[in-house]
A and B are shown apart, each in its own frame.
Chain A
Amino acid sequence: MATKKTKKPAARKAGPAKPKHVEYVLSKGSSRLLNARVDKEEIWLFVNGPAMLFGSARMLTSLDMPGGATFQAWKKLAASLSCTSLCGANGKTKIPVEVKPSRIGTSIEFSLGPMSMYQSVIVLKAKQTGVTLRQAIDDAFGNPKGAYSVVIVPEAATGHAEHDASIFQMGQPADGGHQHGEEGGGHHHG
Chain B
Amino acid sequence: MAATNMAKREEDTTMADVRKNANTMPAAEFENFIRACVILKSTIVGNAGGQPFSVYDQWVAVHGCIMGVRTPGSAVFRNLGHQNIGFLPWHREYLRRFELALQSVVPGVTIPYWEWPSGVPEPIPLFTNARAHPIFFTSSVLNAVGGLFALNGPAAPPAWWPPGFRWRIHPALQVGGSNILRRGSAANTWPPTAAIITSIENSNVGAGGNPYWTFWNRLESDPRTHNTGHNIVGGYMANPVFSPNDPLFWLHHSYVDRVWARWQLNRLAAQPGSSRTTHYPAPAQVNPFNGQVPPDGHRLNDIMWPWVGGLAGYSVNAAAAVQAMLPSFAGIQRRVRNTLDNTNMGGGLAGYSYT
- Contact mask for chain A residues 165-178; partner B; CB cutoff 8 A; 1 contact, 0 none: 11010111110001
Q: CB within 8 Å of A: which of B218-242?
A: 220-223, 227-228, 230-235, 237-242
Q: Bin the interface of chain A by size.
A: 35 or more
Can you identify 26 A-B contacts, CB atoms within 8 angstroms? A25-B221, A28-B83, A48-B220, A86-B188, A88-B237, A89-B238, A91-B140, A92-B186, A116-B231, A116-B239, A117-B79, A118-B238, A119-B227, A119-B230, A163-B79, A163-B82, A164-B68, A166-B317, A171-B171, A171-B174, A171-B175, A171-B319, A173-B176, A180-B182, A183-B151, A188-B171
Knowing A119-B221, A165-B77, A171-B175 touch, does A88 contact B151 (C-beta < 8 A)? no
Task: State in angstroms the CA–CA spacing of A184 and B54 once bound together.
Answer: 20
Q: Specify which of A88, A161, A172, A184 is in contact with B230 (CB 8 Å cutoff).
A: A88
Tell whether, in the assembled complex, residue B240 and residue A46 are in contact, meaning their CB atoms are under 8 Å apart.
Answer: no
- Chain B residues closer than 8 Å to A184, beta-carbon distance: 151-152, 166, 168, 179-180
Tell whether, in the assembled complex, residue A165 and residue B222 are in contact, meaning their CB atoms are under 8 Å apart.
Answer: no
- Contact mask for chain A residues 149-171; partner B; CB cutoff 8 A; 1 contact, 0 none: 00000000000011111101011
B112 at the interface (CB under 8 A from A): no
Shortest beta-carbon distance from B169 to chain A in Å: 9
Tell whether, in the assembled complex, residue B231 and residue A119 are in contact, meaning their CB atoms are under 8 Å apart.
Answer: yes
Q: Which of A23, A87, A118 has the largest count of B CB atoms less than 10 A from its CB? A: A118
Tell whether, in the assembled complex, residue B217 and residue A87 are in contact, meaning their CB atoms are under 8 Å apart.
Answer: no
Q: How many B residues touch A, CB cutoff 8 Å? A: 76
Q: Which of B54, B142, B230, B241 has the largest count of A CB atoms less than 10 A from its CB? A: B241
B52 at the interface (CB under 8 A from A): yes
Knowing A92-B140, A166-B68 touch, does A181 contact B77 (C-beta < 8 A)? no
- Chain A residues closer than 8 Å to B82, beta-carbon distance: 117, 163
Knowing A29-B217, A46-B223, A116-B238 touch, does A88 contact B289 (C-beta < 8 A)? no
Q: CB within 8 Å of B: which of A47-76?
A: 48-49, 52-53
Task: State in angstroms the CA–CA spacing of A25 and B226 once bound together.
Answer: 13
Task: State in angstroms the CA–CA spacing of A90 and B287 once bound together.
Answer: 31
Shortest beta-carbon distance from B287 to chain A in Å: 8
- Chain A residues closer than 8 Å to B78, beta-carbon distance: 161, 163-165
Tell whether, in the assembled complex, residue A118 and residue B175 are in contact, meaning their CB atoms are under 8 Å apart.
Answer: no
A interface residues (Cβ-Cβ under 8 A, vs B) = 23, 25, 27-29, 44, 46, 48-49, 52-53, 86-89, 91-92, 116-121, 161-166, 168, 170-174, 178-184, 186-190
Tell whether, in the assembled complex, residue A163 and residue B175 are in contact, meaning their CB atoms are under 8 Å apart.
Answer: no
Closest to B231 in A: A88
- Chain B residues closer than 8 Å to A164, beta-carbon distance: 68, 76-79
* 5 A-B pairs with least C-beta separation: A88-B238, A88-B234, A165-B68, A119-B227, A165-B67
- Contact mask for chain B residues 32-74; partner A; CB cutoff 8 A; 1 contact, 0 none: 0000000001101000000110100000000010011000000
Closest to B239 in A: A89
- Contact mask for chain B residues 138-161; partner A; CB cutoff 8 A; 1 contact, 0 none: 001110100000011000000000
Q: Specify which of A118, A121, A178 is in contact with B240 (CB 8 Å cutoff).
A: A118
Task: State in angstroms the CA–CA spacing of A147 and B114 once bound together.
Answer: 47
